Amino acid sequence: MPMDWEQWEKKNQRGSGSSRRRDSGNGGGGGAQGPNLDNLISKIKKPSGAPSVWLIVVIAVILWMLSGLFTVEPYERGLIKRFGKYSTSVEEGLRYHWPWPIENVTKVNYTQTRQFEVGSGSSGNKGLDEATMLTNDENIVNLQFVVQYKVDDPVAYAFHIFDPDKTIRDAAISAMREVIGRNTIYGALTDKRASIQEDTRETLQAMMVKYGTGLVVNNVELQDVHVPNDVIQAFKDVTSAREDSERFINEAKGYRNNRLPEAEAKAYALVAQAQAYRAERVNIAKGDSARFLALLTEYRKAPEVTRQRLILETMDNVLPESSKFILTGTAGKSLLPLLGLNGAVSPLAESSANQ
């Protein structure tokens, strides 16, 4: 409780008067109380802690200035903001900036490869919702994939987007939905996995450039692709039927591949035979035509001789192995000499023998 100065002064005066009376009654010595009172008043009026306050202020200022020291690791980049606005960036080592609130520093690890997983079981229902996607052939498929990325532009990563790590996660889900929507479920389950991964990476990288996140996507890898458990049996039946269909188609193609070359060979042989027959008949016809023209020329020169020649050649062709007799004059007018054929004896020879 603060002391009332006037009351204290009156009390002090009463005490001084009684002391003087005691001193006068005792024969003197009253000068000892005067200096003690003055010393007490001077101590009360003059603050005794003034040097300690200034020392505290100086120490506080020194500590405030030292708070601007910071260290940047080799894998980090220090980004300095002055009054909330980006000012400059510094490399590794011991650095200094004006203390808060003038400047502050944000450290970004730009060499670390970061990753996140979408569709994992640890995410619960949210992970299941993220992993459920619709294919081009209107089938539902559950995906589990991993995205690996790193910081390419520390300034854009730290200041351009409020939460770049959440942004790339949401963009990865959107990119995967877009790519899966262009593919069938059988492609996603079988031979299209590599192309889906690469298409998703390119789509996601284009989105990161558009948003200005300062991130570069290194890899997108599909961990698991499967149909929902509620329809897995029906899907297996459909898959089995499709496999049987493909097997029958392959068998038919194999039979066709075996029979087609044989049929083509036969067709080629028939065509070759027909072409040879055609060439033969054409050449024969040309020869006959040429021979006929030659005969015609000779006939025009000597009709009778040519006629006789044609008759003789025809008889030779008709009777190639028979004996032939040419009768001229009066003998040719009668058929009697021909009755004996090869063994016949002439009448003149018979009459001579009888004589």
Contact between residue 94 and residue 69 where contact means Cβ atoms under 8 Å apart: yes
Do 67 and 126 fall into the same domain? no
Q: How confident is the model at residue 150 (pLDDT cuts 50, 70, 90)?
A: very high
Structure tokens at 338: 């021909």
Tell whether 80 and 161 lie within a shared domain.
no
pLDDT surpasses 60 at 332:
no
Q: Look at residue 207 and tell me whether its pLDDT is greater than 90.
A: yes
Burial of 107 (0-12, 13-18, 19+ CB in 10 A): middle
Mean pLDDT of the chain: 76
Total domains present in the chain:
2
Q: Classify residue 174: in a domain, yes or no.
A: yes
**Whether residues 129 and 217 fall in one domain:** yes
Specify whether 119 is located in the same domain as 221: yes
Q: Per mean pLDDT, which range of 49-53, 116-120, 123-127, 276-280 is the poorest?
A: 123-127
Of the residues 180, 205, 227, the one at which a domain ends: 227
Picking from 75, 109, 143, the residue at the C-terminal end of a domain is: 109
The verdict on residue 252 lying in a domain is: no
Same-domain pairing of 174 and 212 = yes
Q: Is 129 within the bounds of a domain?
A: yes
Q: Which of 79, 3, 68, 85 minimizes the C-alpha distance to 41?
A: 3
Residues 77, 141 within the same domain? no
Under the banding of pLDDT at 50, 70 and 90, the label for residue 274 is very high
128 and 87 in a common domain: no
Residue 233 falls inside a structural domain: no
Distance separating alpha carbons of residues 230 and 31, to the nearest angstrom: 110
Domain that holds residue 124: 114-227
- 217 in a structural domain: yes
Q: What pTM was computed for the model? A: 0.51
Sequence-distant (≥ 6) Cβ neighbours of residue 248 within 8 angstroms: none
- Tell me the average pLDDT across 309-317: 78
Whether residue 218 is found in the same domain as residue 173: yes
CA distance 133 to 130: 8
Does residue 250 surpass a pLDDT of 80?
A: yes
CATH of the domain at 199: 3.30.479.30
SS (H, E, C) the chain: CCCCHHHHHHHHHHHHHHHHHHHHHHCCCHHHHHHHHHHHHHHHHCCCCHHHHHHHHHHHHHHHHHCCEEEECCCEEEEEEECCEEEEEECCEEEECCCCCCEEEEEEECCCCEEEEECCHHHHHHHHHHHEEECCCCCEEEEEEEEEEEECCHHHHHHCCCCHHHHHHHHHHHHHHHHHCCCCHHHHHCCCHHHHHHHHHHHHHHHHHHHCCCEEEEEEEEEEEECCHHHHHHHHHHHHHHHHHHHHHHHHHHHHHHHHHHHHHHHHHHHHHHHHHHHHHHHHHHHHHHHHHHHHHHHHHCHHHHHHHHHHHHHHHHCCCCCCCCCCCCHHHCCHHHCCHHHCCCHHHHHHHHC
For residue 67, is it within any domain? yes
pLDDT at 219 exceeding the cut of 50: yes
In a domain, 328, yes or no: no
Given pLDDT bands bounded at 50, 70 and 90, which one contains residue 350?
A: very low
* Percent of all residues in the chain with a pLDDT value above 90, rounded to a whole number: 16
Residue 34 lies in a domain: no
φ, ψ (nearest 5 deg) of residue 224: -155, 140
| 155 against 13, higher pLDDT | 155
Q: Are 94 and 138 found together in one domain?
A: no
